């Protein structure tokens, strides 16, 4: 009894240790590999296998029993075991397979990976029922169903190595032909037993069923030069060469191999996981997702991933994956609302004026390069193309994407659902999230019949957008020759100051804060309440410069927090958030050490709502507004990255509550006194 308790606590400890380790796989720590004695337990825990006994009825009456027995016999013959061992392995193998065949009710056929999957498990020498449970868990969790998986694999190859993908496509070699044995057997069919076991150690701890795709990807890309040299070979020999790739893997390579796969995984948009997990690894039929992946032109990215990526500051995204959004809709649609960082590429140009289009593409590439060099939020190596979200209207978008793919551009993806789903994603806040959004011209708004008055007001007063992309959009709108020349000028001289203005945070003037994105443009339409809150800002377009040290030592400041301002256009500023009894201030660092700009000075009571991002709790948004009857009118907001977010928000909300109490007390007094 006591021993059993001991046993369980040991496993629990192991489990917690494992969970800690799972995150640090790429850190090159060799502990990710597991010693022989612990392997069974660790695999069981990673795969979530509960010990329970299974009853094997040992009735071998499958229609394909003969094939199955022959295959087992052949495999066992190849193992270098003793005769006695062989017999027991053989009977175990057949009984396990027959049992599985009956429970899943899928016919066995040679080479479907079952035997290959079972052998490493049998090598663990665990009781038969445990072997079966492990096997069952692997099959359900990690073995893909249907052909979508291979289409996805092709899309990933296209994403990372378009030239190689195109080579194979032209040879009419589909991933199924060479990688089916890899994926159906989790590489067990192609790798030696020690390599397989090591790989599985890492794999099960990772727990990501899609990780296999990246292992396969590394396999193919690693030998790309050898593959490309086979250009004159017949199709079959290329397929054979490809499918034999994993067999050259040595035990000592496994660690590097897996970290490489991790590297690729980190540089791939991940939203296909959510969209496809159900249809690849569950038995559910989802014809829509399957259809969308088998017919996809390139890797799809969904809206939430795009938005998170674009609004997320560099520091948080790591160095792996930054998007560069290319808006392919016609100019008038772009001008009626677009993402703040979107580059506009008018796809109609491709048809109407090929030369201009080519220059526009050059403009795109150099804008991308500059944005990357300047480390701007708009910059990213990963191109996301966005269309309208309607197959009919997106013909030209698809053509442009196809031409990028043809030129073997790396990292090309397309936004799932296009502008329509972006619009839908933002819902009521679309006016604040998009630049230049005009609900009277925005096609989605019009089709929704939703001309929201309040959104309108905010946007109508907004001054023309200063960025180059907006300009290109506006310019392209009118088609006169003169304007086209101007466009060329913009595009051909990407070094001109206009482009830099967009990408360089240092180029910002104080005034910019007011006039950039719609959210911040509110100052232009001050309502009377607003004026009374912060009269200082009213007459001064420049921010007030103050001394940090004197502010820090001010008596009325209760607390201050290091923070980063996150502007909707992607700029970030090192700042300090200071909170007094009545106000919240943001002091932005300047080049001089003690000087700071006061960029936000708001009464605490003006804060209508504080929200934080689910995924990144350190990102806090303050929304300012006032109660107008029962409605809350939000008229401004600021977003910050605050390392001590919880502490700061707690303090602020406490102060707000205090403030309201005080206010209502005063009001009560006021009401009472005249009486």
Partner 1 sequence: MTEKYDFLFKFLVIGSAGSGKSCLLHQFIEKKFKGDSSHTIGVEFGSKIATIGGKSVKLQIWDTAGQERFRSVTRSYYRGAAGALLVYDIANRESYNSLSEWLADARSLASPNIVILLAGNKKDLEAERQVTFLEASQFAQENELMYLETSAKSGENVEEAFLKCCKTILGKIQNGELDPDRIGSGIQFGDSKTRLLNQEKPKKPDCFCNM
Give the CA radius of gyration of the chain. 31
Beta carbon of residue 351, minimum distance to partner 1 (angstroms, whole number): 7
Indicate the residue among 151 and 588 with the shorter CB distance to partner 1.
151
297 binds partner 1 (CB under 8 A): yes
Q: Which of 235, 406, 615, 658 binds partner 1 (CB under 8 A)?
A: 406
Length of the chain: 675
170 binds partner 1 (CB under 8 A): yes
350 binds partner 1 (CB under 8 A): yes
Indicate the residue among 173 and 559 with the shorter CB distance to partner 1.
173
Beta carbon of residue 290, minimum distance to partner 1 (angstroms, whole number): 12
**Contacts with partner 1: how many residues (CB under 8 A)?**
25
483 binds partner 1 (CB under 8 A): no
Q: Which of 244, 402, 496, 657 binds partner 1 (CB under 8 A)?
A: 402
392 binds partner 1 (CB under 8 A): yes
295 binds partner 1 (CB under 8 A): yes
Tokens of residue 328, six digits: 């392919």
Indicate the residue among 411 and 426 with the shorter CB distance to partner 1.
411
Q: Which of 9, 53, 395, 532 binds partner 1 (CB under 8 A)?
A: 395
Indicate the residue among 169 and 208 with the shorter CB distance to partner 1.
169
Indicate the residue among 356 and 546 with the shorter CB distance to partner 1.
356
359 binds partner 1 (CB under 8 A): no
Q: Which of 67, 88, 91, 166 binds partner 1 (CB under 8 A)?
A: 166
Q: Which of 391, 496, 558, 657 binds partner 1 (CB under 8 A)?
A: 391
Distance CA 261, CA 253 (A): 12
Q: Which of 11, 104, 123, 167 binds partner 1 (CB under 8 A)?
A: 167
* Among 262-270, 387-395, 466-474, 631-639, the segment contacting partner 1 (CB under 8 A): 387-395
* Among 180-188, 251-259, 395-403, 494-502, the segment contacting partner 1 (CB under 8 A): 395-403
482 binds partner 1 (CB under 8 A): no
The secondary element (H helix, E strand) that includes residue 345 is none
Indicate the residue among 193 and 391 with the shorter CB distance to partner 1.
391
593 binds partner 1 (CB under 8 A): no
Indicate the residue among 242 and 522 with the shorter CB distance to partner 1.
242
Indicate the residue among 69 and 398 with the shorter CB distance to partner 1.
398
Tokens of residue 50, six digits: 């509960």
3-state secondary structure of 321: coil
653 binds partner 1 (CB under 8 A): no
CB 527 within 8 A of CB 496: no
Question: What does each C-alpha distance from 525 to 110, 336, 463, 528, 622 come to in angstroms?
Answer: 73, 20, 11, 9, 19
**Phi, psi for 435 (deg, rounded to 5):** -85, 140
Indicate the residue among 153 and 203 with the shorter CB distance to partner 1.
153
388 binds partner 1 (CB under 8 A): no
* Among 161-169, 190-198, 276-284, 420-428, the segment contacting partner 1 (CB under 8 A): 161-169
CB neighbour class for 666 (10 Å; exposed up to 12, middle 13-18, buried from 19): exposed
Helices 211-222 and 148-160, packing angle to 10 deg: 50
Q: Which of 172, 453, 593, 614 binds partner 1 (CB under 8 A)?
A: 172
CB 377 within 8 A of CB 310: yes
**Phi, psi for 141 (deg, rounded to 5):** -85, -35
Indicate the residue among 414 and 578 with the shorter CB distance to partner 1.
414
355 binds partner 1 (CB under 8 A): yes
353 binds partner 1 (CB under 8 A): yes
Q: How remote is the C-alpha of 335 from its chain's centroid? A: 27
539 binds partner 1 (CB under 8 A): no
105 binds partner 1 (CB under 8 A): no
228 binds partner 1 (CB under 8 A): no
Q: Which of 237, 240, 250, 291 binds partner 1 (CB under 8 A)?
A: 291
Residue 390: left if φ>0, alpha if ψ -120 to 50, beta else—which one? Answer: beta
Distance CA 325, CA 242 (A): 35
151 binds partner 1 (CB under 8 A): yes
Read out DSSP for 362-391?
HHHHHHHHHHHHTT-TT--SEEEEE--S-T
Distance CA 438, CA 337 (A): 6
Closest residue by Cα to residue 99 from 138, 140, 69, 55 = 55
Distance CA 245, CA 223 (A): 8
Q: Looking at 464-560, list the stretches that DSSP marks H as alpha helix, in order from N- to C-terminal side.
A: 468-477, 481-492, 497-503, 512-515, 528-533, 535-539, 548-552
Closest residue by Cα to residue 218 from 185, 259, 181 = 259
405 binds partner 1 (CB under 8 A): yes
232 binds partner 1 (CB under 8 A): no
Distance CA 175, CA 183 (A): 10
3-state secondary structure of 285: coil
Provide the b/e sequence for 22-39 (b: ≥16 CB within 10 Å): eeebeeeeeebebeeeeb
Residues found near partner 1 in the complex (CB under 8 A): 151, 166-167, 169-170, 172, 291, 294-295, 297, 350-351, 353, 355, 391-392, 394-395, 398-399, 401-403, 405-406
């Amino acid at each position: 009894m006591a021993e059993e308790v001991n046993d369980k606590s040991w496993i629990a400890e192991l489990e917690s240790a494992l969970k800690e380790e799972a995150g640090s796989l790429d850190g090159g720590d060799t502990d990710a590999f597991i010693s022989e004695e612990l392997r069974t337990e660790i695999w069981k825990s990673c795969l979530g296998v509960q010990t329970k006994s299974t009853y094997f009825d040992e009735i071998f009456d499958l229609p394909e029993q003969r094939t199955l027995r022959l295959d087992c016999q052949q495999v066992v013959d190849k193992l270098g075991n003793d005769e006695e061992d062989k017999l027991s392995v053989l009977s175990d193998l057949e009984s396990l397979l027959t049992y599985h065949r009956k429970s899943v009710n899928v016919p066995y056929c040679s080479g479907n990976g079952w035997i290959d999957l079972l052998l490493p498990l049998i090598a663990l020498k665990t009781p038969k029922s445990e072997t079966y449970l492990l096997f069952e868990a692997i099959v359900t969790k990690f073995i893909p169903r249907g052909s979508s998986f291979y289409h996805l694999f092709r899309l990933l190859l296209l994403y990372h190595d378009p030239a190689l993908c195109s080579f194979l496509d032209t040879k009419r070699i589909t991933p199924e032909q060479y990688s089916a044995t890899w994926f159906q057997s989790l590489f067990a069919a192609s790798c030696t037993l020690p390599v397989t076991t090591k790989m599985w150690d890492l794999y099960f701890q990772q727990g990501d069923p899609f990780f296999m795709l990246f292992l396969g990807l590394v396999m193919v890309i690693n030998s790309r030069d050898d593959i490309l040299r086979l250009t004159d070979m017949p199709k079959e020999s290329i397929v054979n060469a490809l499918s034999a790739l994993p067999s050259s893997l040595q035990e000592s390579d496994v660690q590097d191999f897996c970290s490489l796969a991790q590297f690729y995984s980190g540089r791939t948009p991940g939203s296909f996981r959510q969209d496809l997990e159900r249809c690849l690894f569950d038995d559910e039929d989802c014809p829509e997702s399957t259809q969308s992946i088998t017919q996809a032109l390139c890797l799809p990215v969904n809206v939430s991933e795009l938005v998170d990526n674009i609004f997320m500051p560099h520091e948080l995204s790591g160095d792996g994956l930054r998007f560069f959004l290319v808006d392919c809709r016609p100019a008038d649609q772009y001008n009626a609302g677009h993402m703040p960082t979107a580059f506009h590429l008018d796809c109609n140009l491709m048809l109407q004026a090929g030369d201009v289009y080519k220059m526009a593409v050059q403009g795109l590439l150099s804008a991308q390069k500059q944005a990357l060099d300047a480390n701007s939020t708009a910059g990213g190596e990963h191109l996301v193309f966005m269309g309208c979200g309607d197959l009919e209207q997106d013909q030209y978008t698809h053509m442009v994407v196809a031409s990028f793919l043809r030129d073997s551009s790396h990292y090309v993806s397309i936004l799932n659902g296009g502008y329509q789903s972006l619009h839908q994603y933002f819902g009521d806040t679309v006016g604040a999230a998009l630049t230049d959004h005009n609900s009277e011209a925005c096609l989605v708004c019009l089709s929704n019949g939703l001309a929201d008055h309040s959104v309108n007001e905010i946007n109508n007063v907004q001054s023309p957008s200063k960025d180059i992309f907006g300009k290109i959009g506006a310019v392209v709108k009118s088609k006169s020759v003169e304007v086209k020349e101007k466009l060329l000028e913009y595009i051909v001289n990407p070094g001109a100051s206009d482009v830099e203005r967009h990408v360089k945070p240092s180029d910002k003037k104080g005034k910019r804060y007011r006039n950039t994105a719609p959210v911040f443009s509110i100052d232009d339409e001050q309502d009377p309440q607003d004026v009374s809150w912060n009269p200082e800002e009213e007459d001064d377009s420049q921010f007030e410069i103050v001394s940090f040290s004197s502010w820090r030592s001010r008596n009325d400041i209760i607390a201050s927090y290091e923070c980063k301002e996150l502007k909707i256009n992607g700029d970030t500023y090192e700042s300090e958030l200071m909170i007094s009894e009545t106000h919240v201030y943001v002091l932005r660092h300047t080049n001089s050490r003690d000087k700071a700009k006061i960029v936000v000075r708001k009464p605490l009571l003006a804060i209508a709502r504080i929200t934080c991002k689910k995924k990144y709790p350190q990102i806090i948004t303050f929304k300012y507004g006032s109660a107008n009857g029962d409605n809350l009118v939000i008229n401004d907001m600021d977003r910050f990255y605050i390392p001590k977010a919880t502490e700061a928000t707690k303090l602020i909300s406490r102060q707000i509550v205090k403030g309201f109490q005080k206010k209502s007390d005063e009001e009560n007094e006021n009401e009472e006194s005249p009486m």
